[in-house]
């Protein structure tokens, strides 16, 4: 993995140069291109890169004797997913009024950035299609890739909308919306499609796998995995070490429809429900402490550990049932990456 990460990282400067070099030489837009170069370097290259790397590892398992040229394109396409992630996160941080991302100030919190970050997020989305056109035009999978990234963006936007209207930032809390069904929908559309199905689907199309059955079976497995991943994320937001996860968790004060609060609502008595109602979704450290104390009383850490173990083994069973003629290591590798993760 460390060697592949080095090879993956080595592609990034090439893409930055491709996207900015022409603009930097044009006096009319040179200032904008200089700005956008900083946007890219600050926001795209500092994540864990699991999504991007998963394109390459999946493609190699599908096409073991792939050429150096195709491996290079697989790395480029992996970076397209990292660009998509950066586009989502810059916009999401503004909408959530977040302060930290990946251990550093959110982009919009930087000096002289503010709402310019909205335009910067649009720019990073546009970069994806410039990269696809430059590296994939003429390839048999070019149109499939274009449609896949557009469709994934639409899916994620739907999920973001569900998240925002379920947990508005105006301070109102409506627990009637915090259902298991709504939580599952938010996770599926906001996270699972782009984080899990997209990297494998990119590898599939590169490998010439276009049949509906293969994509459908992979989607069932990977959306389930995405749900597992988001529950972990919700847990880490509350219980993770900020120095490890790279941010201070704020789901409680931000009124998020997280796995913890949805599960808690299914277990509380009337007195405990009142504690939730009075303290959840409030920008007050004492009220956040009250919620965390309630979570302790409800044994949420134990419930999460039970969920994590049972979901992991359910995933392995699902992989055995649905992988068909595909190399099941594609899916097992994903599952192993996220099982017992702490960031």
- The catalytic residues are 48, 87, 92, 96, 101, 163, 190, 229, 233-234
Structure tokens at 57: 């590892």
Q: Are 179 and 166 contacting, i.e. CB atoms less than 8 angstroms apart? A: no
Q: CA-CA distances (angstroms) from residue 183 to 189, 225, 238, 260?
A: 10, 15, 17, 11
Question: Cα separation of 85 and 82, whole Å?
Answer: 5
Q: Among residues 131, 136, 193, 138, which one has the least CA distance to residue 162?
A: 193
- Eight-class DSSP state of 110: S
Paired residues of 105 in beta bridges: 100
Paired residues of 100 in beta bridges: 105
Question: From its phi and psi, is residue 49 left (phi > 0), alpha (psi between -120 and 50) or beta?
Answer: left
Question: Cα separation of 206 and 74, whole Å?
Answer: 8
| 193 Cα distance to chain centroid | 9
Q: Are 53 and 11 contacting, i.e. CB atoms less than 8 angstroms apart? A: no
Question: Cα separation of 20 and 236, whole Å?
Answer: 37
Q: Are 203 and 58 contacting, i.e. CB atoms less than 8 angstroms apart? A: yes
Question: Cα separation of 36 and 130, whole Å?
Answer: 14
Q: What are the E-state strand segments in 254-329?
A: none
Question: Cα separation of 263 and 267, whole Å?
Answer: 7
| 323 Cα distance to chain centroid | 23
* Sequence-ordered list of residues with C-beta below 8 angstroms from that of 182, at least 6 positions apart, any chain: 162, 166, 257
């Amino acid at each position: 993995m460390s060697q592949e990460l080095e090879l993956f990282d080595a592609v990034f400067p090439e893409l930055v140069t491709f996207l900015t070099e022409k603009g930097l030489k044009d006096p009319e837009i040179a200032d904008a291109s200089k700005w956008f170069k900083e946007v890219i370097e600050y926001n795209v290259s500092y994540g864990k890169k699991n999504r991007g790397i998963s394109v390459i590892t999946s493609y190699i398992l599908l096409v073991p004797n792939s050429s150096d040229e195709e491996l290079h394109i697989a790395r480029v396409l992996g970076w397209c997913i990292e660009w998509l992630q950066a586009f989502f996160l810059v916009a999401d941080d503004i909408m959530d009024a977040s302060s930290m991302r990946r251990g550093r100030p959110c982009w919009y919190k930087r000096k002289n950035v503010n709402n310019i970050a909205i335009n910067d997020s649009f720019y990073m989305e546009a970069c994806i299609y410039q990269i696809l056109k430059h590296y994939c035009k003429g390839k048999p999978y070019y149109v499939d890739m274009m449609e896949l990234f557009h469709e994934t963006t639409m899916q994620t936007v739907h999920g973001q909308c569900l998240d925002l209207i379920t947990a508005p930032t105006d301070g109102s809390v409506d627990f009637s919306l915090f259902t298991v069904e709504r939580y599952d929908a938010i996770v599926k559309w906001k996270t699972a499609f782009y984080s899990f199905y997209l990297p494998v689907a990119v590898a599939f199309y590169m490998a010439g796998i276009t049949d509906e059955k293969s994509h459908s079976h992979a989607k069932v497995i990977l959306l389930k995995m995405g749900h597992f991943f988001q529950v972990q994320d919700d847990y880490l937001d509350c219980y993770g070490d900020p120095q490890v996860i790279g941010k201070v968790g704020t789901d409680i004060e931000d009124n998020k429809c997280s796995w913890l609060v949805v599960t808690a609502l299914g277990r509380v008595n009337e007195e405990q429900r009142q504690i939730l109602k009075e303290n959840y979704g409030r920008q007050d450290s004492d009220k956040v402490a009250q919620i965390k104390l309630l979570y302790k009383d409800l044994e949420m850490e134990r419930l999460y550990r039970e969920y994590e173990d049972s979901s992991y083994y359910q995933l392995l069973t699902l992989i055995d049932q649905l992988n068909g003629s595909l190399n099941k290591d594609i899916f097992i590798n994903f599952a192993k990456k996220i099982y017992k993760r702490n960031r």
